[in-house]
């Protein structure tokens, strides 16, 4: 963890020396980290998609061979073996957690006087936003990936849409977290949310184009 912390801390300082603004430095650092993690994230999304297709396939098999137990057992074992392979991709999320946790530590070591023209109404991004502007922006952007499932052309087979109650819960929790966190972390959360939206949009377009080709 110390190696990761020292590397990210040095990278943040280098970006700041180039941009002259701590807010921009956090944005560029976050984008850099997410670009490195994108292949892992994309693999995870594909694995989750395979699991959703597996659930649908299992229901079809059980219905098709409900009167043939031997054939049903054979097909279930075959599908379970394929499912186990795709589940390995979900483990890549664990590799991202140490980096994300380290980023928060890096932001906490910023100088007290750190400011940014991105958030001009505060003198330091080490404090929380008393105007609730940063938390509200974060909540609105963080919900956009989930809302893509409501777009007909971008729906993924087997993937359920979030209910309104779940969306409200996510918004309230996100608002609470962002309000309690310093603005530096808020900038990171907003940048990550924008990246998540673009990543989810690209993945859904990839799945849609794959269906068209097949």
CA 140 to CA 138: how far, in whole Å?
6
Structure tokens at 47: 């694995």
Specify the pLDDT at position 45. 82
The answer for 132, left when phi > 0, alpha when psi is -120 to 50, beta otherwise, is left
pLDDT tens track for 64-86: 777 777 766 766 666 565 555 55
pLDDT tens track for 4-18: 889 999 999 999 999
| Side-chain-side CA neighbours of residue 91 (13 Å) | 5
CA 148 to CA 106: how far, in whole Å?
32
- CA dihedral for 178, 137, 37, 2, sign (positive or negative): negative
- Distances in Å between the Cα of 137 and the Cα atoms of 82, 126, 173, 188 are 41, 18, 14, 12
H helices of 65-132, in order, are 69-87, 92-108
Structure tokens at 162: 């979030």
Q: Is 34 exposed, middle or buried (CB count within 10 Å of its CB: 0-12, 13-18, 19+)?
A: buried
> Quick check: pTM over 0.85?
no
Please identify every stretch of the chain with a pLDDT value under 50, giving residue numbers as ranges: 88
- Distances in Å between the Cα of 17 and the Cα atoms of 61, 187, 188, 195, 208 are 60, 18, 19, 24, 42
């Amino acid at each position: 963890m110390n190696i990761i912390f020292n590397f990210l801390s040095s990278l943040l300082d280098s970006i700041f020396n180039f941009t002259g603004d701590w807010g921009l430095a956090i944005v560029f650092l976050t984008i850099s980290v997410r670009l490195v993690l994108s292949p892992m994230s994309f693999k995870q999304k594909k694995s989750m998609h395979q699991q959703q297709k597996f659930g649908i396939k299992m229901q079809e098999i059980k219905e098709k061979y409900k009167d043939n137990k031997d054939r049903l057992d054979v097909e279930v074992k075959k599908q379970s073996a394929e499912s186990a392979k795709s589940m390995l991709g979900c483990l890549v999320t664990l590799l991202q957690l140490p980096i994300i946790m380290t980023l928060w530590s890096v932001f906490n070591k910023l100088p007290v006087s750190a400011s940014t023209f991105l958030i001009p109404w505060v003198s330091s991004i080490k404090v929380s936003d008393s105007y609730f502007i940063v938390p509200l922006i974060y909540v609105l952007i963080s919900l956009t990936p989930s809302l893509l499932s409501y777009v007909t052309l971008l729906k993924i087979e087997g993937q359920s849409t979030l209910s309104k109650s779940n969306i409200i819960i996510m918004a309230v929790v996100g608002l609470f977290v962002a309000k309690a966190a310093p603005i530096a972390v808020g900038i990171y959360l907003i940048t990550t949310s924008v990246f998540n939206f673009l990543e989810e949009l690209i993945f859904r377009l990839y799945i849609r184009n794959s269906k068209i080709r097949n």
